[in-house]
Amino acid sequence: MAIAKAERLMNLALCLLGTGRPLTKRELRSSIEAYLEAGSEDSFNRMFERDKDDLRELGLVIETVENFEGEVGYHARRDRNRLPDVSLDAEEAAALQLAAKVWQQARLAGAASGALQKLRAAGMPDSEVGAGSYDALEPRIPAREAAFEPLMLACRDRRPVVFAYRKSNSAKAERRQVEPWILECWRGHWYLAGWDRDRRAERVFRLSRITGPVRSRVGEYTAEVPDQVRVRETAERWAGEGATTESALIQLRQGCGYPLRARATRMRELGDGWEELEIPYGHGLDAWLAEFGPDVVVLEPAELRADIIDRLRAVAKG
């Protein structure tokens, strides 16, 4: 039976951490059963390279040293791999425990519990799961978009990517070459900000509109990564919620349109079961007002009024 990968990785980690001097591949192969059984030199080499990468993903710092005979040796120095002292009290431990539970994405959920386990092993106090004041609170971060994980890694490693992207109102996807900067989750949806190489400008992408795989490209970033990236402002503008100084004047049937009323800056009774409201006028207000059908009449501005009439006519045609 093949030896399980976890067992092999664990053995490699213990060998590299336990040794006082760099170990050559030959030595490692003779110490680890799974490597002895690996078959050809080639398949052992491939396995060893992959395992080393996996351990590095887990945080291990593995150094490569050449000895006098020109042979390469590997070791994970303890002073470079030790967690610095960190003392957390029970309250702080409970807070981190809640935070670790929020990821609904497998890789990040695994990484977050891994961090907790390391802290726990380093002496973080055990706190009863579910005890304390976080009982009733269950924040969740979803990440169902297939593009999430490859883009997260690309942002982390600063690797340019290529993907097909379909803008909200177009049927066809277009190829986009992007230097990814950051991913941000707003209202449960993920957005990517980065440098669009073809448009030579900063762009924000909604992950759910990426169709097909995200492919990495070799090479450096060509544009400088800014200190501050504003993803949220762009997403808010798309959602029609950006800051605006303009306003619209509408009539609203009494008892209807609570959210319109909640954001009204001015309101007066007209009698007859109607009210007049002044509300902020931003992107997307036309579509939203149309939803209220016969319970809203737009007075100003004229362009908004014309827009609504246009929308209503399209629906009235049936």
Partner 1 sequence: MATNAIDQTRRMLSLVTYLRERPGARVEDVARAFGVTPDELISDLNVLPMCGTSFRGGDLLDIDTDGEHIWWHNSEAVTGGEPLRIAADEATALLVAARAVATLPGLRESDRLALLRATAKLETAAGDSAAASARLAVTFESEGGVFADLDRAIAERRRVWLRYYSPSRDELTEREVDPIRLFVLGHTYVEAWCRLSEARRTFRLDRVAEIALLDKPADPPSIEPRDLSAGLVQPSEDDPEVVVEVGPGGRWVAEYYPHDSAEERPDGGLRIVLRSPDPASLRRLALRLGRDGRIIEPVELAHAATDAARAALAAYEEDAVH
Largest Cα separation within the chain, whole Å, is 97
- Cβ atoms of 147 and 163 within 8 Å: the answer is yes
Q: Which is nearer to partner 1, 68 or 258 (CB)?
A: 258
Q: Show the tokens assigned to 189.
A: 């949806």
Report whether the peptide linkage leading into residue 160 is cis, meaning its omega lies within 30 degrees of zero.
no
Q: Which stretch binds partner 1 (CB under 8 A): 65-73, 196-204, 215-223, 269-277?
A: 269-277
Amino acid (one-letter) located at 196: D
Instruction: Please report how close the Cβ of residue 69 comes to partner 1 at its closest, in angstroms.
Output: 22
| By CB under 8 A, residue 303 contacts partner 1 | no
Q: Does 200 sit near partner 1 (CB under 8 A)?
A: no
Structure tokens at 307: 């827009």
Q: Does 242 bind partner 1 (CB under 8 A)?
A: no
Token duo for residue 100: 């670790």
**Phi then psi dihedrals of residue 184, to 5 deg:** -135, 140
Which CB, 30 or 222, lies closer to partner 1? 30
- Residue 161 binds partner 1 (CB under 8 A): no
Measured distance CA(141)–CA(122) in Å, rounded: 27
Asked if 73 and 65 count as a contact pair (C-beta separation under 8 A), the reply is yes
Asked if 70 touches partner 1 (CB under 8 A), the answer is: no
Tell me whether residue 213 or residue 255 sits nearer to partner 1 (CB atom).
Answer: 255
Read off the tokens for 45.
């080499």
The single residue among 44, 163, 165, 181 that binds partner 1, judged by CB under 8 A, is 181
305 lines the binding site for partner 1 (CB under 8 A) = yes
By CB under 8 A, the residues from 132 to 151 that bind partner 1 are 133-142, 144
Contact between 29 and 23 (Cβ < 8 Å): no
Q: Are 260 and 292 in contact (CB under 8 A)?
A: yes
How many residues bind partner 1 (CB under 8 A)? The answer is 134
Give the separation between CA 205 and CA 238, rounded to whole angstroms: 11
Of the candidate spans 40-48, 62-70, 73-81, 215-223, the one that interacts with partner 1 by CB under 8 A turns out to be: 73-81
Nearer to partner 1, 210 or 281 (CB): 210
CA 177 to chain centre: 19
Q: Under the criterion CB under 8 A, does residue 226 sit at the interface with partner 1?
A: no
Q: Are the C-beta atoms of 3 and 33 separated by less than 8 Å?
A: yes
Q: Which two tokens stand for residue 273?
A: 């079961």
Choose, by CB under 8 A, the member of 211, 283, 288, 301 that binds partner 1.
288
Region binding partner 1 by CB under 8 A among candidate stretches 41-49, 175-183, 197-205, 212-220:
175-183
Q: Binding to partner 1 by residue 25, rule CB under 8 A?
A: no
257 phi, psi to nearest 5 deg: 55, 50
Per CB under 8 A, does 318 bind partner 1? yes
Which residue in the set 37, 63, 64, 106 belongs to the binding site for partner 1 (CB under 8 A)? 106
* Residue 110 in contact with partner 1, rule: CB under 8 A: yes
Q: Which residues 48-67 are close enough to bind partner 1 by CB under 8 A?
A: 54-55, 57-61
223 touches partner 1 by CB under 8 A? no
Binds partner 1 by CB under 8 A, chosen from 2, 6, 201, 218: 6
Q: What are phi and psi of 25, to 5 degrees?
A: -60, -40
Q: Rounded to an integer, what distance in angstroms lies between the CA atom of residue 287 and that of residue 291?
A: 7
